[in-house]
Structure 1
Amino acid sequence: MKFNFIFGLLLTGSTFTTFAQKNKKADTRPNIVLIMVDDMGYSDIGSYGSEIQTPNLDNLAKEGIRFREFYNNSICAPTRASLITGQYPHKAGIGYFDINLGLPAYQGYLNKESLTFAEVLRNSGYSTLMSGKWHVGSDSTAWPNQRGFDHFYGFIKGASNYFDIGEYGQAPPVDLIKDNKRITLKSGLYLTNEITNNALEFLDDQSKTEKPFFLYLAFNAPHWPLQALPEDIAKYKGRYSIGWDSLRVERIKKQKAIGISDPKQAIAKRDPEVPLWGNLTYSEKQLWEKKMEVYAAMVDRVDQNIGRLRDKLKELKKDDNTLIVFISDNGAQGGYSPTGRRKPQRNTGPIGTAGSYEYQEQSWAYVSNTPHTKYKDNMHEGGISAPFIAWFPKQIKGGNIVKGTGHLIDLAPTFYEFASAAYPAKLNGATANPLAGKSLVPVLTGKTESVERGEPIFWERAGNRAVRKGKWKIVSTYPAYKWELYDLEKDRGENNDVSAANIEVVNELSADYFKWADKTGVVDYDKIKPANQIGFPTPAAAGAAANPAARRANVE
């Protein structure tokens, strides 16, 4: 009798468990995919004016929403710090770069108080996946798996080769990490493809769970070195023989036609440092054409892999409940400076091969950033403007182009709103920094045309500074401390400095800046700058790269 009673209890418990499992409410919150590319200019995809073949991104744009104004932090590590945490980079600990300058705002890795989107979303029940470039802390305590990601494949530092051997030249091993284990890229593989392969592998594994997922897909293309697959390069053979002057005109015309550029808006004047294409010799033109062919091929390959990702989502029957966001970490890279052109670290093969360490350079970057002025690591529009595409048919109306005026700090609160994820006051023993941005959901769902944040957007990096407030923007470029002022409603090309006629506006925005700087931990750059500014390799760094013991292609 006693046995029957116990058996009955066990059977009843088992029945209740089975009933609970069958009647467990499914988690219908959306999956989220964030795609970031590296050093790609505002106009380098078809839906923003480019001739580069990007059908998959163009389809996302057609079925989703595009912003005319979306801002980053002008260079890799500070951009990623803001993106991943929803904080300004200094507040997150990466006010300069991923090196330690001895102050909390410049420690060179994410602090614990700045919660990553992986930490917050995992705490809310999401699977958290990442594949690609990290670049917000080299110490193993600051790697992705230690900051909230269930799975990670990619590299930790700022740059990588795309393959290690080819027909011409041999590069150092491509050092990678997969879930805290060091690995290298197998010979014959191309890194852009492998970043996607591992992301798809993670999605296959994740599909066995009942959880929604968050995937951060951080491509390093088209960041230098210019290395691409021959079949992709061949698609652009001869396309760039028209030169940068004609190509920029072509892109501007297309931007106006599709509505990305307002015909009433002033575009940036021609960069006087870029030589006229017609003044180049035949051999010079051949060299420059090849650079852009390879650059285009790298962007093209990213788009192909985005197509593979979308195919996988359809295969897993998860495409109809997935938000996809696409951005770039900064404008295209220039490279001219008071000391002259930036030199490639080393070359052991032609442009495009494993031995190539060439980069796009200013003349083509001038086209990539159309219709804006300046380049990566500068606070004018060409340095901080990115394409922004969001796709989520359930809630985002297709085909819209809006002003937007979003910033990286807005993405974390956007994801948390879509995911119904509470932002905790404390997590993992740390008191969380309040989020700095505003959710983009009202703009994405058609309730507003631009972010209603009620306060300015701020920038500082290596002494370069800017403030955006309404139509006004002040900007200064180190080592000058003079503010320029632009009316971006009329002059997003930043051609006409109107500071002299609007002293009161300059004073107001300047006061806003210094209040923000004090609150955020910004320090006068002259007091903290390292001997060699990070961002572009120095002769010493180039020499170190030639040393076999130091040949790791991982500087920014």
Structure 2
Amino acid sequence: MDNRLKVLNKSPFQKVTVFASVLALLSGCSYKNFMEQEVKAESNKTKVTNENGKQKEGEDSPKPNIVYIVLDDSGFSDLGSYGSEIQTPNLDWLAENGLRYNNSHVTPVCSPTRAALLTGRNPHDIGMSTVANFDMGPEYPNKRGRIYPEAGTIAEVLKEEGYNSYTLGKWHLAPSHQLTPAGPYENWPLGKGFDRFYGILEDSSDQYKPELVQDNSFIDVPEKENYHFSEDIVDKANQYVTDHASVNPEKPFFLNLAFGAQHQPVQVPEEYIKKYDGVYDEGWDKIREQRFKKQKELGIIPEDAVLTPLNPGVKPWDQLTEVEKETFTLFQETYAGFLTHTDEQIGRFINHLRSVGELDNTMIVFLSDNGASAMGKATGSINHTMAYNDMPETLDYVVENIDNFGTDKAKVEFPAGWAQVSNTPFKLYKSTMYEAGIRTPLIVYYPKAIKDKGAIRNQYVHVSDITPTVYDLAGIELPDEIKGVKQIPLQGENFADTFVKADAPDKKTQYYENNGQRAIYHDGWKAIARHTKGQAYENDVWELYHLAKDPTETNNLVAKELKKLKELQKLWDKEAKKYDVLPMTDIMGDGFLVMPSDSNRNRNTFTFYPGMSLLLEGATPFIINRSYSITVPISREAGDEGVLVALGNYESGYTLYVKDDKLVYEYNIGTKDYRIESDAPVGQSTIRYEFNPTDLHKGIGNLYINGNKTGDVTIDQTHKFKVSFEGLDIGRDTHYPVSTAYQNKGTFEFTGEIEKVIYELK
């Protein structure tokens, strides 16, 4: 950890608010005298409440409530206030009553953005340079899938200032191998300073049957008709706010509301999809042009900005077949309906803040964690696992499932052509260093400090700047230590002056790196290093853009401005050393295959017992491209049936079960099911399944009863990176069934007795 402490000598965090500075100037008093008066006034101020415990209109509280609202994989142009035809009236209301930033940047994938947001630091320097699934071990301290204790979260800091802190929805800030019902918990939300947590721990989740966690416990999905995850987390957020305002009205709160939307799987009730019937019949070329025109009318992009050409691999709409047009249109209708549904939930939350008298004293910050994703490739995707394993989904396969779009029977992601529309006017997508990957909406609502309502700000802002700005406006100093751990200084820059000054100075420099892709921004210029996986970094191809004049990166100036490029390359090297960007790796999906030596998952033997809570897939025994066995001693009478072991759901996974006096093993790759069936044993028996690879992603599965082989199957394709997005159950199959053979039997709990389940891996 010594390399983390080298930044302790950086310049201290600016502790004085610009808002206070402006008031001091207007009042004619000295800055020092003004602040002394303000501190004295604050110390005498208490929150006034009415008989219902609600804040009276017009009364101030000592410190503001803080709310972060984060979308997942939503592009720069998706909101109505940023040029979209999608109905987002509640987020548009925030924009109309706050500030929109059109030059706000994040990292190109989710976990680093969330880490930077919650800490006010650069993600490499705090252990989160890529998605939390990829823990590269001690050799790569910038890729540990966690936030180091030296970078306290906003929840930890605000706790010392009398705040209660709540987080709901997606977390994705702990190594996957730590996400077990027995911990370790130090990187879970409560371990990072939050008082309450309700949501999911991993990167993405089904909207109808999420793998829910409340505080430090896995829980069942509420038995509620028409359940939806986005609605559930807002219901819970409203409950937290109600309890807070009712019982502790004198205390401020921080609430982080992180939706799973718009990440795959895109799932939403049909009524929201129907809202967009016919809206996208013109196709992605026309819709993109319409958004581009509206963005100029709104002032979101400069009048002289150029719309980038279609991305490589995206066909012009008029070259598609009628089947493609019909299918791809429905993909976008589903995506748009999903966003409108999410906006509706955000509106419910805002209205609830208003109803309990907290809205006027709440600062709300809205953003998306990165640009829209091209994971759906050319045809779109309806199978989450196949998309992540880079497995092709044919158009025929997609069309077969078209009636399931939006439902719990499909895990939808739109084609890349629509992803480019989301990222209008930029080129390429999430995971890249182009503006499409890192430039997203930012809306700040805070009526006590923002008077220029509905205005657009052009300043360059980075996600790491948000929390330092919040600290400044709340008059909070970063403590020297948290839980006895020396804190590294904030690295983001306070942009509160933009709240009151349209021409306030902006951020000058920001580096970027993700899985070997690099970029550096400085004073209106941006250099990008395009890296080819497996090649030496010195062979990267550099591009240079003058963003101040070319915001859509259409004019590569590398041949004309070689001196400027070399200047930016040196600056990237400087920033990389300063913020622990090195060493780099160019991992992509293969990051799922890395198991650090200190991981609990890096064992050869696991023993699980009946009644164990759901174990998330990222913490289960790692079977990819390995010889392994699953042994299950059971006691069974004739007629006893049910699941012995199950990992996954209908889109992928494996299951071992007894049904109709047959013992069955199934491995579901996504488009094909590999199956072994034999007569089931009676009495005390030992069931054993063995898999032996014959080549990369291939092998033979064998099924044994009491040591006697009862069947085998040749599996000609296993998963490359990840078996499923649903975890492991012992003695039952919760959430969605792996096999259609027992899809109508609920969890299909085994009616005999299971002694234990033993995994042995070679």
**TM-score over 0.5 for the alignment?**
yes
Q: Is the 8 A contact 1:267 1:492 kept in 2?
A: no
Give CA deviations for 1:284-336 in whole Å, capped at 9, x if unaligned. 11110111011001110111011111111111111111111110000000138
2:334 is aligned to 294
Cα drift, residue 491 of structure 1? 1.1
**Are 1:79 and 2:79 matched, yes or no?**
no
Cα drift, residue 186 of structure 1? 2.7
Give CA deviations for 1:38-87 in whole Å, capped at 9, x if unaligned. 00000001000000001111111111111110000011111111111111
Listed as ranges, the gaps of 5+ residues in structure 1 are 1-22, 165-173
What amino acid is aligned across from residue 523 of structure 1 in structure 2? L
What amino acid is aligned across from residue 156 of structure 1 in structure 2? L
2:207 is aligned to 162
Cα drift, residue 230 of structure 1? 1.4
Give CA deviations for 1:103-136 in whole Å, capped at 9, x if unaligned. 2211111110111011111111111111110101
Q: Is the 8 A contact 1:467 1:513 kept in 2?
A: yes
1:16 is aligned to none
Could you say if the C-alpha distance between residues 529 and 284 of structure 1 is closer, same or farther in structure 2, counting changes exceeding 3 Å? Answer: closer
Q: Is the 8 A contact 1:378 1:477 kept in 2?
A: no
Could you say if the C-alpha distance between residues 531 and 59 of structure 1 is closer, same or farther in structure 2, counting changes exceeding 3 Å? Answer: closer
Cα drift, residue 543 of structure 1? 9.3
Match of 1:465 among 501, 518, 522: 518
**Are 1:124 and 2:141 matched, yes or no?**
no
**Are 1:267 and 2:307 matched, yes or no?**
yes
What amino acid is aligned across from residue 165 of structure 2 in structure 1? T
Give CA deviations for 1:368-396 in whole Å, capped at 9, x if unaligned. 00011110000000000101111112211
What amino acid is aligned across from residue 354 of structure 2 in structure 1? K
Could you say if the C-alpha distance between residues 529 and 283 of structure 1 is closer, same or farther in structure 2, counting changes exceeding 3 Å? Answer: closer
2:725 is aligned to 552
Match of 2:543 among 484, 492, 510: 484
Higher relative contact order (CA 8 A, sep 6+): 1
Distance in 2 (CA, whole Å) between partners of 1:181 and 1:522 is 34
Distance in 2 (CA, whole Å) between partners of 1:250 and 1:547 is 42
SS in 2 for 1:483: strand
1:63 is aligned to 97
Listed as ranges, the gaps of 5+ residues in structure 2 are 1-43, 48-60, 179-184, 387-397, 533-538, 594-617, 619-623, 626-646, 656-722, 728-762
Give CA deviations for 1:420-468 in whole Å, capped at 9, x if unaligned. 11101111111111111111211122264452x4x41010000111111
Distance in 1 (CA, whole Å) between partners of 2:569 and 2:166 is 40
2:489 is aligned to 434
Distance in 2 (CA, whole Å) between partners of 1:368 and 1:114 is 33
1:97 is aligned to 131
Distance in 2 (CA, whole Å) between partners of 1:146 and 1:344 is 30
SS in 1 for 2:309: coil
What amino acid is aligned across from residue 473 of structure 2 in structure 1? F
Could you say if the C-alpha distance between residues 329 and 531 of structure 1 is closer, same or farther in structure 2, counting changes exceeding 3 Å? Answer: closer
Could you say if the C-alpha distance between residues 531 and 248 of structure 1 is closer, same or farther in structure 2, counting changes exceeding 3 Å? Answer: closer
Q: Is the 8 A contact 1:200 1:309 kept in 2?
A: yes
SS in 1 for 2:526: strand
Query: Equivalences for 1:100-119 in 2 at 5 Å?
Result: 100-102=135-137, 103-119=140-156
1:383 is aligned to 437
Distance in 2 (CA, whole Å) between partners of 1:87 and 1:135 is 17
1:8 is aligned to none
**Are 1:417 and 2:590 matched, yes or no?**
no
Cα drift, residue 534 of structure 1? 5.7
Q: TM-score, normalised by structure 1?
A: 0.88
Percent identical pairs in the alignment equals 36
Match of 2:447 among 383, 393, 398: 393
Cα drift, residue 529 of structure 1? 3.6
SS in 1 for 2:167: strand
What amino acid is aligned across from residue 193 of structure 1 in structure 2? E
Distance in 2 (CA, whole Å) between partners of 1:512 and 1:384 is 19
What amino acid is aligned across from residue 512 of structure 1 in structure 2? L
SS in 2 for 1:175: coil
SS in 1 for 2:256: strand
Quote the RMSD (CA, aligned, Å). Answer: 2.5
Distance in 1 (CA, whole Å) between partners of 2:472 and 2:255 is 16
**Between Structure 1 and Structure 2, how many residues are aligned?**
517
Q: Is the 8 A contact 2:382 2:410 kept in 1?
A: no
SS in 2 for 1:525: coil
Cα drift, residue 401 of structure 1? 0.7
Could you say if the C-alpha distance between residues 337 and 304 of structure 1 is closer, same or farther in structure 2, counting changes exceeding 3 Å? Answer: closer
More strand by share: 2
Could you say if the C-alpha distance between residues 107 and 72 of structure 1 is closer, same or farther in structure 2, counting changes exceeding 3 Å? Answer: same
Distance in 1 (CA, whole Å) between partners of 2:342 and 2:406 is 15
Could you say if the C-alpha distance between residues 450 and 353 of structure 1 is closer, same or farther in structure 2, counting changes exceeding 3 Å? Answer: farther
Q: Is the 8 A contact 2:314 2:416 kept in 1?
A: yes
Q: Is the 8 A contact 2:376 2:413 kept in 1?
A: no
SS in 2 for 1:284: helix
Give CA deviations for 1:191-239 in whole Å, capped at 9, x if unaligned. 0101111111110111121101111110110110121111111111111
Q: TM-score, normalised by structure 2?
A: 0.65
Q: Is the 8 A contact 2:381 2:411 kept in 1?
A: no
SS in 2 for 1:141: coil
- Flag as ranges the 4+ runs of structure 1 deviating above 3 A: 23-27, 335-338, 340-344, 346-349, 447-450, 528-531, 540-545, 548-554
Distance in 1 (CA, whole Å) between partners of 2:511 and 2:654 is 41
Distance in 2 (CA, whole Å) between partners of 1:320 and 1:273 is 48
Cα drift, residue 553 of structure 1? 4.3
Q: Is the 8 A contact 2:276 2:333 kept in 1?
A: yes
Match of 2:463 among 392, 408, 414: 408
